[in-house]
């Protein structure tokens, strides 16, 4: 579905991603790595916010390298950005609608999409007229995911979905992601909380200094010595 | 209730020339011109872009309309469309370059554009009449204040309807999400540049048309008074006093400040601008959400 080939990205003269290749099929894939490894940069590049210096990104067989962000989103990639993700002064309903309003194929099935989001996040249905900014952190994150789902994505990209949430909410959040995965939406997520992240994903990559150092199935990743020492603290 | 009061206000506005004297008709006409400028400035602000180009496009429209009548024998009413279209085309060309800028840089550039227009108007003497400007033989409708009033009223209604369309359709989510957070707007599939350009062109066309009407009303253009900072600062003050990010805010602001300034002028011919300035400062400090916003908040909290 998503195929990244030999991607290199630089900010000015500083190269941050080195000849990186990953694929995401019909599955959930994790990108792990410390701060500054290049995870967010990679995601911004997939969404067309940064231009790579070399390499290509393919989505459903189509070369999307260099497309504008809104064009990428209309092809079926939705993003839940890190931290800043909602329109706080708009209501829950408006936030959800704005997720579908500018994607032609999603707009035509607005009601269906809303119902789909409510089956996954029933709490949103009770809060429709509440201002998004007045909800708790966990609810806001769920709304952000719901908003992204309104766009009818084939691939949902989440940048650090657990950041800033209390542990019990993190567990709930990842359970929801698993449910979304079951509904047939592919997932690509970056995560520093490797322990929780491993429970959701089928396959994962570990990025360090802009290069992939490990790639494996999630159960095997949990056994890796490097990961145990550096990320799991066991 | 709401529909009724709108119909009542509209009816009053239409029959006003029959019940009011020429002085009042004239004051209301001027207030409505500024109301349109305030609304157009606010419509751009709703996208998060602070434009200081209001006076510039106002002046462009004014010059285009006067030149169209004087040199090309266009009907004065049609010349208003000429003014609007000329401002729209110019803003389209400039917008492609300028709308890549944000915040302070966008604001300063639009302010600079106004100066550029003024310099052009002063120096392209063959076309614009240079520093002396251009005077027509006759004002629009032979200077009939009632007909001019109805023309301005119809234009104002068009602008108010446009502003409401921006508030009630899909465009609203686009522009308010651009204002909230461009990253999120982009990743919701919004073509940010396209929407900014649409809003910039429409608001500039409104400013151009307002300038054209104003110029036809007085039948003259002159660089300094046509591109005067008044056509930038008063609309901004009106929108701020009334309440930004809405249609009613700038309308209320224009009425409040418009009538206050007229009354003050009669009360104290010298120094009325000081009181006027103090009113603006006080409202901005104590009524953060503007007159309309504050009243609505009080009603809701009760």
Please give the ipTM for the structure prediction: 0.71
Tell me if B277 is assigned to some domain: no
Task: Summarize pLDDT for A7-59 with one digit per residue, the tens.
Answer: 999 998 899 999 999 999 999 999 988 888 888 899 999 999 999 999 999 99
- The mean per-residue pLDDT over the stretch B207-217 comes to 96
B103 confidence band (pLDDT: 50, 70, 90): confident
Tell me if B90 is assigned to some domain: yes
Q: Which residues from chain B sit within 8 angstroms of residue A84, using beta carbons?
A: 181, 183-184
Task: Summarize pLDDT for A73-111 with one digit per residue, the tens.
Answer: 999 999 998 876 788 888 899 889 888 888 888 888 889
Tell me if B271 is assigned to some domain: no
Touching check for B170 and chain A: CB below 8 Å?
yes
Q: What is the pTM of this model?
A: 0.84
Position B137 scores a pLDDT of 85
Query: Is beta strand A211-217 parallel, antiparallel or unpaired with respect to A155-159?
Result: unpaired
Q: Which residues from chain B sit within 8 angstroms of residue A81, using beta carbons?
A: 183-184, 187
Tell me if B38 is assigned to some domain: yes
Q: What is the full DSSP assignment across chain A?
A: -EEEEEEEEEETTEEEEEEEEEEE-SSEEEEE--TTSSHHHHHHHHTTSS--SEEEEEETTEE-TT--HHHHHHHTEEEE-SS--S-TTSBHHHHHHHHHTTSHHHHTTHHHHHHHHHHH-HHHHHTTTSBGGGS-HHHHHHHHHHHHHTT--SEEEEESTTTT--HHHHHHHHHHHHHHHHTT-EEEEEES-HHHHHHH-SEEEEEETTEEEEEEEHHHHTT-HHHIIIII--
Range of the domain at B108: 23-228
Position A230 scores a pLDDT of 75
Mean pLDDT of chain B: 91
Task: Summarize pLDDT for B250-279 with one digit per residue, the tens.
Answer: 999 999 999 988 888 888 888 878 888 888
Position B267 scores a pLDDT of 86
Touching check for A74 and chain B: CB below 8 Å?
yes
d(CA A198, CA A178): 11
Query: Is beta strand A155-159 parallel, antiparallel or unpaired with respect to B220-221?
Result: unpaired
**Could you say which of A73, A84, A87 has the minimum Cβ distance to residue B189?**
A73
Position A199 scores a pLDDT of 86
Chain pair A-B, CB pairs under 8 angstroms: 60
**Could you say which of B173, B174, B189 has the minimum Cβ distance to residue A74?**
B189
**Could you say which of A68, A70, A84 has the minimum Cβ distance to residue B184?**
A84
**Could you say which of A69, A98, A151 has the minimum Cβ distance to residue B186?**
A69
Q: Give the best-scoring range by mean pLDDT among B129-138, B203-212, B272-281.
A: B203-212
Position A234 scores a pLDDT of 59
d(CA B23, CA B76): 23
Position B226 scores a pLDDT of 92
Touching check for B226 and chain A: CB below 8 Å?
no
Position A72 scores a pLDDT of 92
The torsion of the CA quartet A96, A100, A101, A105, rounded to 10 degrees, works out to: -160
**Could you say which of B176, B180, B187 has the minimum Cβ distance to residue A79?**
B187
Touching check for B181 and chain A: CB below 8 Å?
yes
- Look at phi and psi of residue B70 and say left if phi exceeds 0, alpha if psi is from -120 to 50, else beta: alpha
Structural domains in chain B (count): 1
Tell me if B139 is assigned to some domain: yes
Tell me if B302 is assigned to some domain: no
Q: Does the pLDDT at position B240 exceed 80?
A: yes
- % chain B with pLDDT above 70: 100
- The mean per-residue pLDDT over the stretch A62-80 comes to 91
Tell me if B37 is assigned to some domain: yes
B40 confidence band (pLDDT: 50, 70, 90): very high
- Residue spans of beta strands (DSSP E) within B114-204: 134-135
Touching check for A113 and chain B: CB below 8 Å?
no
Closest-CA residue to B57 (of B217, B200, B236) = B200
Task: Summarize pLDDT for B161-191 with one digit per residue, the tens.
Answer: 999 999 888 888 888 888 888 888 888 888 9
CA distance A101 to chain B (A): 7
- Block residue for tokens 């008044």: B230
User: Are the Cβ atoms of A87 and B180 closer than 8 angstroms?
Assistant: yes
* A98, A106, A144, A153: best to mutate for the B interface, most B CBs within 10 A: A98
Reduce the DSSP state of residue B136 to 3 states and report it: coil
């Amino acid at each position: 579905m998503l195929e990244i080939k030999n991607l290199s990205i630089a900010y000015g003269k500083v190269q941050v991603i080195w000849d990186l290749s990953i694929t995401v099929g019909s599955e959930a894939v994790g990108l792990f790595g410390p701060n500054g490894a290049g995870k967010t940069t990679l995601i911004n590049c997939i969404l067309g916010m940064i231009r790579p210096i070399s390499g290509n990104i393919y989505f459903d067989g189509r070369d999307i390298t260099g497309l504008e962000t809104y064009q990428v989103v209309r092809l079926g990639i939705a993003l839940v950005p890190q931290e800043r993700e909602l329109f706080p002064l708009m209501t829950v309903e408006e936030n959800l609608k704005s997720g579908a309003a500018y994607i032609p194929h999603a707009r035509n099935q607005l009601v269906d999409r809303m119902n789909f989001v409510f089956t996954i996040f029933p709490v949103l249905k009770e809060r429709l007229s509440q201002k998004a900014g007045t909800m708790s952190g966990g609810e806001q994150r769920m709304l952000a995911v719901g908003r992204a789902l309104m766009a009818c994505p084939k691939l949902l990209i989440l940048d650090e979905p657990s950041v800033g949430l209390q542990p019990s909410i993190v567990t709930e959040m990842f359970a929801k992601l698993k449910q979304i995965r079951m509904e047939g939406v592919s997932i690509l997520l970056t995560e520093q909380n490797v322990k929780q992240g491993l429970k959701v994903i089928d396959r994962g990559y570990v990025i360090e200094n802009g290069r992939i150092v490990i790639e494996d199935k999630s159960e095997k990743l949990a056994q890796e010595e490097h990961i145990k020492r550096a990320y799991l603290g066991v | 209730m709401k529909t009724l009061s709108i119909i009542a206000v509209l009816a009053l506005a239409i029959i006003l020339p029959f019940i009011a004297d020429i002085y009042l008709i004239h004051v209301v006409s001027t207030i409505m011109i500024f109301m349109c400028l305030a609304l157009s400035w606010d419509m751009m602000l709703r996208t998060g872009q602070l434009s200081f180009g209001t006076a510039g496009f106002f002046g462009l429209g004014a010059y285009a309309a006067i030149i169209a009548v004087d040199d090309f024998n266009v009907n004065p009413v049609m010349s208003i469309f000429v003014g609007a279209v000329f401002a729209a085309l110019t803003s389209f060309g400039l917008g492609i370059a300028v709308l890549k800028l944000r915040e302070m840089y966008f604001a300063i550039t639009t302010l600079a554009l106004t100066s550029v227009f003024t310099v052009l108007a002063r120096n392209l003497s063959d076309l614009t009449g240079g520093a002396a400007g251009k005077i027509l033989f006759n004002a629009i409708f032979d200077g009939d204040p009632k007909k001019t009033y109805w023309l301005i009223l119809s234009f104002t209604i068009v602008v108010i309807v446009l502003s409401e369309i921006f508030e009630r359709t899909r465009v609203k989510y686009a522009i308010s999400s651009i204002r909230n957070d461009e990253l999120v707007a982009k990743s919701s599939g919004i073509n940010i540049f396209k929407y900014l350009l649409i809003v910039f062109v429409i608001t500039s066309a409104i400013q151009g048309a307002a300038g054209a009407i104003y110029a036809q009303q007085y039948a003259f253009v002159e660089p300094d008074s046509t591109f005067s900072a008044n056509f930038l600062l008063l609309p901004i003050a009106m929108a701020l006093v009334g309440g930004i990010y809405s249609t009613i805010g700038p309308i209320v602001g224009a009425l409040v400040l418009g009538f206050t300034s007229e009354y003050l002028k009669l009360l104290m011919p010298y120094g009325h601008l000081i009181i006027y300035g103090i009113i603006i400062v006080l409202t901005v400090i104590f009524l953060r959400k503007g007159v309309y916003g504050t009243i609505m908040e009080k009603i809701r909290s009760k």
